[in-house]
């Protein structure tokens, strides 16, 4: 059965520089390579879900510029429904300047068109959200649009996964509207107004809704009822961790109907495959590749 996923979120062009290490303030480094690749948390999650076999609709915004045209064409090639991607003509497309060094990354996002996603636009995509099995939303779009997505999902009875990245404090009431939160430890602490150094298992228990916590190379922890459960990470050689979280979220949404433990296991496996290539979307696996990896 084909799963239907609606994603409300950002679309960026990623400007990726490979460096021997991260520069210090005031330091000029000679880089090792540069690529321009599609990204943005919303677009990444949409692409990852589509490659895993889902029917995907994306709600977002792109500028009417060269990056916007390239990104639009790329998303269309992935088979994603773009009926709710608006193209305002007085702004540029979102960009992310990314430095990759030693498998880690540093990112500066300029939202540009992504800042134009409005509650009214989300409302106008009601049909796409109503027809979805799961809705995914992240935090590179305006807070009002995130709130509108959470409220519409609740009204329609469609589960919303809130991926609170990048971290910003949110009203506790909004968190309660999500079916799952999928933060890393720093994001969870920010959401709860807690100290990031606090034990993550304590933070998990304080969250108002079930949390699936990502822990990088340590895998993920999730808690629905009872004690938090650990899912180990899969061992791979990391080329670039950009987009790992997005692949994780997409796989979680696509496989949620198989139960949370299976969905989290598959999400960890999909994220592991995603980090083996440079660029957020390059390594995102197709369903058959994920199955083969899990069977090994």
Query: Could you list the residues that contact ligand RIB (CB under 6 A)?
Result: 10, 12, 14, 39-41, 44, 96, 107, 109, 140, 242-243, 245-246, 280
Least distance in Å: CB of 283 to ligand RIB? 12
For 73, other C-beta atoms within 10 Å of its C-beta total 11
Least distance in Å: CB of 259 to ligand RIB? 26
CA 75 to chain CA centroid, Å, is 15
Residue 127 in 3-state DSSP?
Answer: helix
Residue 113 in 3-state DSSP?
Answer: helix
Give the orientation angle of helix 260-274 with respect to helix 287-295, to 10 degrees: 100
Least distance in Å: CB of 155 to ligand RIB? 28
Token pair 């480094």 in the structure block, residue? 29
Is 246 assigned a catalytic role? yes
Least distance in Å: CB of 275 to ligand RIB? 11
Nearer to ligand RIB, 156 or 278 (CB): 278
How many alpha carbons fall within 13 Å on the CB side of residue 96?
A: 27
Reported as type and span, the H/E element at residue 161 is strand 160-162
Cβ(17)–Cβ(99) under 8 Å?
yes
Out of 89, 90, 246, 291, the active site residue is 246
Token pair 């064409």 in the structure block, residue? 73
Nearer to ligand RIB, 219 or 243 (CB): 243
Nearer to ligand RIB, 121 or 214 (CB): 214
Catalytic residue positions? 246
């Amino acid at each position: 059965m084909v799963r239907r996923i609606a994603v409300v979120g950002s679309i960026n062009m990623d400007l990726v520089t490979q460096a021997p290490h991260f520069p210090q303030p005031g330091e000029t480094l000679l880089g090792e390579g540069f690529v321009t690749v599609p990204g943005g948390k919303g677009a990444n999650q949409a692409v990852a879900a589509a490659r895993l076999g889902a029917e995907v609709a994306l709600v977002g915004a792109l500028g009417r510029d060269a990056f916007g045209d390239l990104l639009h064409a790329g998303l269309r090639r992935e088979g994603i429904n773009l009926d709710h991607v608006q193209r305002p003509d007085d702004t540029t497309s979102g960009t992310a300047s990314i430095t990759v060094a030693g498998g880690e990354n540093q990112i500066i996002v300029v939202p540009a068109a992504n800042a134009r996603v409005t509650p009214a636009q989300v409302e106008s995509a009601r049909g796409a959200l109503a027809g979805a099995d799961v809705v995914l939303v992240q935090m590179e779009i305006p807070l009002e649009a995130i709130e509108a997505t959470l409220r519409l999902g609740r009204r329609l009875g469609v589960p919303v996964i809130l991926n609170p990245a990048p971290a910003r404090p949110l009203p506790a009431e909004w968190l309660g509207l999500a079916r799952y939160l999928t933060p890393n430890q720093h994001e969870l602490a920010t959401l709860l107004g807690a100290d990031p150094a606090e034990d993550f298992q304590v933070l998990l228990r304080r969250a108002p809704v079930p949390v699936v916590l990502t822990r990088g190379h340590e895998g993920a922890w999730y808690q629905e009822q009872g004690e938090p459960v650990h899912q180990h990470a899969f061992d791979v050689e990391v080329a670039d961790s950009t987009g790992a979280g997005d692949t994780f979220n997409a796989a979680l949404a696509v496989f949620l109907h198989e139960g949370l433990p299976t969905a989290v296991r598959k999400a960890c496996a999909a994220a592991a495959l995603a980090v083996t290539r440079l660029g957020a979307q390059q390594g995102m696996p197709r369903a058959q590749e994920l199955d083969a990896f899990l069977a090994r």
